[in-house]
Structure 1
Amino acid sequence: MLLGVLLLLVLAGCGGDDTTTGNAVADGPVATGKTVSVPATTSGSKTLHVKMESTKFVPDEVTVETGTTIIWVNEDTVKHNVTSSDGSFQSEDLVQGGAYSFTFREPGTYEYTCTLHPPGMKGTVIVED
């Protein structure tokens, strides 16, 4: 009898679904270093995630190909925004868990800041053909 109860407990612990909860974003590469390059792909769109945490953009510099979409995700406990120096893109203020995306269609160097935390919270996107 005791063996049967233990077997039921073990099997119950192994059950459940495969859904994942939390703040992880699993639909594209996650930026983990200071500079990240997105290689060319032959199918699908290119997406890169940049985190906002501890009043920093992580990574703070990325090199991507034209057509790449960057998604900035606020993982901090305070509001942040993403504002380009040249006016080409600007998010609203994002609360924790909020996200903003922009697709880079033209080559160039795009500098951006969080206007709520200048001058230290800044980043750069380098877009190449």
Structure 2
Amino acid sequence: MTGPLAAADPAAGGGYFDAYAAVGLLAVVGVLFVAVSFTANRLLRPVVYSPEKLLTYECGVDPVGGDWAHTQIRYYIYAFLYVIFAVDSIYLFPWATVFAAAGFGMATLVEMFVFIGFLAVGLLYAWKKGVLEWT
């Protein structure tokens, strides 16, 4: 095969790294885009410092008082429980596809019941400790 089609086909002798030229070009363009954006931002932004700009700002609340605040630990526990069950759902979807394949039925079913059992024991422990009560 000769002509422009031979160069486009890596199997026809176009070279091993020719297939990666588009990926490399995209990476270079991405790095250049980020560099140009940050440079333009630095050159075009106004730089006027004032005491108000140097204050700590969080969600529209004026910084009044000290910098120490007590945070309830229960918010972190709820967030942690959410992450646990989100990860559980991430594992359930691929399991369902493997379970549907021929030859994997009983083994994957037992593995998933063990996995869900561990999560149920953790949830039961949190419930017994009173972690799930909001009051």
TM-score normalised over the length of structure 2: 0.21
> Which structure is higher in strand share?
1
Which structure would you say has the larger Rg? 2
Q: Highest relative contact order (Cα 8 Å, sep 6+), 1 or 2?
A: 1
